[in-house]
Structure 1
Amino acid sequence: MKSRRSVRAAVALSSGALAILAFHGTASAAPVPPGDGWDHTWSGAAGDFRVYVEEHGDLISVCDTKADGKSPTVWVGPGNGDTTRYSFRVTGGKGSCASKSASLGGVYDLPEGQKFTVTACSYGCGAWPFVNDH
């Protein structure tokens, strides 16, 4: 039979390891970049979010980069900014990211050669155009 001291030591070690892993896993908010890097990256003026765009595969990601209690939201639409093709929100707080891509089909599969605008808001907002040319 194991002594209480050994059991306590094992619990303390495993708890410490989990705490280190949990901290390390949320230390930076960034999705894994594609093999050739992101085609476009933009940051909110208040430092509260970061947007990533990879045209091949129509991958759009946004990450929450500030512990302010707000959830960044993204709207993707035609280049004129008049309408929204789709939108999504980051949940989970600082260090969390959310993504949409053509692999989901439908509105997420952006037509090639067309201009789109990515608008993102959290504390402040920003809008950035790009041409989906590959």
Structure 2
Amino acid sequence: MKLKRALARLAPVALAAAAASLLTASPASAISWDWGPYYDSSKGVKVYFEEKGDRLKVCDIKSDGKWVMAWVDVQGGKSIYLADTKNDGKCRYSKASDSSYYNLPEKKWIEITPCTSTGNMCDTTGKTRSFYNDH
């Protein structure tokens, strides 16, 4: 009988905790990424891009002590990059509203190249992906 009462009291707490975890998902996890994942040749970096809001996600997915980045080149000359230098299994994010640096022009071709650091250089032997930024 005591066990039934204890379970009856714990059930609402457990239900509330489960609901809270669903409601507090990070904004980045709610994004349906248009492009990606893209990897470099060593599979040490994973890159995603969402056209609406020019959202870029770079993840260091290999604990090898190297940092990773995504080079983004826009038709007409603009280039940006986003690096993940932490090697902590987490990702770095950017979006157009962060600054004008990350605000990419519309109606242009975009190229994304994931890469891993090799000393003071970036190994760009990963496949470059191209798409038309129409959002």
TM-score normalised per structure 2: 0.65
Partner of 1:39: 34
CA distance in 2, matches of 1:85, 1:33: 27
Letter in 1 for 2:53: G
Match of 1:120 among 114, 117, 124: 114
1:65 is the counterpart of 2:61: yes
CA distance in 2, matches of 1:33, 1:49: 21
Instruction: Tell me the CA shift for residue 86 of structure 1.
Output: 1.6
Instruction: Describe the SS at the equivalent of 1:103.
Output: helix
Partner of 1:108: 102
CA distance in 2, matches of 1:108, 1:118: 13
Q: Deviations for 1:23-47, whole angstroms, at most 9, x for unmatched residues? A: xxxxxxxx5241xx21010122321
Partner of 1:6: none
Instruction: Tell me the CA shift for residue 84 of structure 1.
Output: 5.1
Q: How does 1:1-134 map to 2 (within 5 A)?
A: 32-34=29-31, 37-41=32-36, 42-79=38-75, 83=77, 85-122=79-116, 124-125=123-124, 126=126, 127-134=128-135
CA distance in 1, matches of 2:43, 2:30: 20
Instruction: Describe the SS at the equivalent of 1:32.
Output: helix
Where is the strand percentage greater, Structure 1 or Structure 2?
2
Q: Which runs of 4+ in 1 moved over 3 A?
A: none
Letter in 2 for 1:66: K
Instruction: Tell me the CA shift for residue 79 of structure 1.
Output: 3.8
Instruction: Describe the SS at the equivalent of 2:85.
Output: coil
Contiguous gaps of at least 5 residues in structure 2: 1-27, 118-122
User: Which stretch shifts more, 61-70 or 85-94?
Assistant: 85-94
CA distance in 1, matches of 2:112, 2:30: 18
TM-score normalised per structure 1: 0.66
Contact 1:75/1:84, CA 8 A, preserved across alignment = no
